[in-house]
A and B are shown apart, each in its own frame.
Chain A
C-alpha cells in the first residue's frame, strides 16, 4: 500500500527507521555503561562465574533462525501465499518465545544458583539492565507478531496489500536480532574469554 508523500516513501516506514536509529542510541548507552563498569566493584559473581556459552550460543542460534523465519513469512505474504505466511509466522513466534524461555532460564539460574541479582554488584546491575531491556524488546516483538498472526487467522485482515504492517513488525524483529548479535559478542564472548592477559 503506498501513500502520496513528499518523499515518495511511506511515512510509517520512515518513522520506524527513525525509531530504530534512536533505539540504537538507547542500547548504546546500556552497552557503554556495561563496558565502563566492567571489572569494577565486587568481582564475584562475575561473567566467568555465571555465563554458559554453549547454552547462550543455542539461544543465539534460535533468534537468528527466527529472523530467517520472519523474512520467509514476509516473502510469502507479498506473494499472497497466506498458508505459507502463517506457517512461518507461527514458527517465528515460537522461536521468539523459545529465546525468551532461554533468557528466563538463564536469569533464574543466575539468581538462584549463582546468587547474582541486580543489587549484588555492578556487573549484575549493568548486565540485567542491558539484557533485560533486550528481553522486553523481544517480548514486545512476540506480542506484535502474535497480534498480526491472530488478525490473519481470525479477522482475515492480513494480505499482500497490507504487507507494510508486517514489514514494520519485521524491521523491529530484525533490529532485536542485530542488537543481540552485539550483546552476544561484547557481553558473553568477551566477558568470559580466557585469553586476555590478566
Chain B
C-alpha cells in the first residue's frame, strides 16, 4: 500500500519534468510559423474553390495538434488529461455540426 502510494506520487513528479527541450520548443514554433504562412499563401489561390476547405482544415488541425501535443505537453503528460480535453473537443465539434445541421447547412 505504502509502495503503491509512493508510485502514485512519483508519477505526478515525472509529468512535470519529462517535457521537451528548449530547442524542440523552438522547432515547434518554426513549424507553426510555416503552417500559418502556408495558410495565408493558400488563401490567395482562388482557383481552389471549395477545395480550400479541406486544405485549410488540415493546416489548422495540424497547428492545433502541434500546440496541444508539444506546448500543452499532452504528448508527454498523463493520458487522463488527453481524455478530458478530447471529450470536450469532440462534444464541441458535435455542437458545431449539430447547429449547422439544424440550420440546413448540409441540405
| Residues of A near any B CB (own CB < 8 A) | 2-10, 13-14, 17-18, 20-25, 27-29, 31-33, 35-36, 53, 57, 60-61, 64-65, 67-68, 70-72, 74-76, 78, 163-164, 167, 170-171, 174-175, 177-178, 181-182, 184-185, 189-190, 193-197
Chain B positions within 8 Å of A25 at CB level: 88, 91-92, 95
Query: Are A8 and B8 within 8 A (Cβ)?
Result: yes
Query: Are B105 and A164 within 8 A (Cβ)?
Result: no
CB<8 Å pairs between A and B, sample of 6: A2-B9, A7-B80, A8-B78, A181-B60, A182-B60, A189-B39
CA A68 to CA B70, docked complex, whole Å: 10
Q: Do A18 and B84 form a contact, CB below 8 Å, given A68-B29, A167-B16?
A: yes
A-B pair count, CB < 8 Å, reads: 169
- Contact among B8, B22, B68, B84 for A178, CB-based, below 8 A: B68
Minimum CB–CB distance for B12 against chain A, Å: 4
CA A60 to CA B67, docked complex, whole Å: 14
CA A89 to CA B91, docked complex, whole Å: 33
Q: Count the B residues whose beta carbon is within 8 Å of the partner chain — how many?
A: 62
Task: Name the 4 nearest CB pairs between A and B, nearest first.
Answer: A21-B88, A28-B92, A8-B8, A32-B99
Q: Do A8 and B36 form a contact, CB below 8 Å, given A24-B89, A185-B59, A195-B46?
A: no
Minimum CB–CB distance for A45 against chain B, Å: 20
CA A175 to CA B92, docked complex, whole Å: 14
Minimum CB–CB distance for B104 against chain A, Å: 9
Q: Do A35 and B12 form a contact, CB below 8 Å, given A181-B64, A190-B56?
A: no
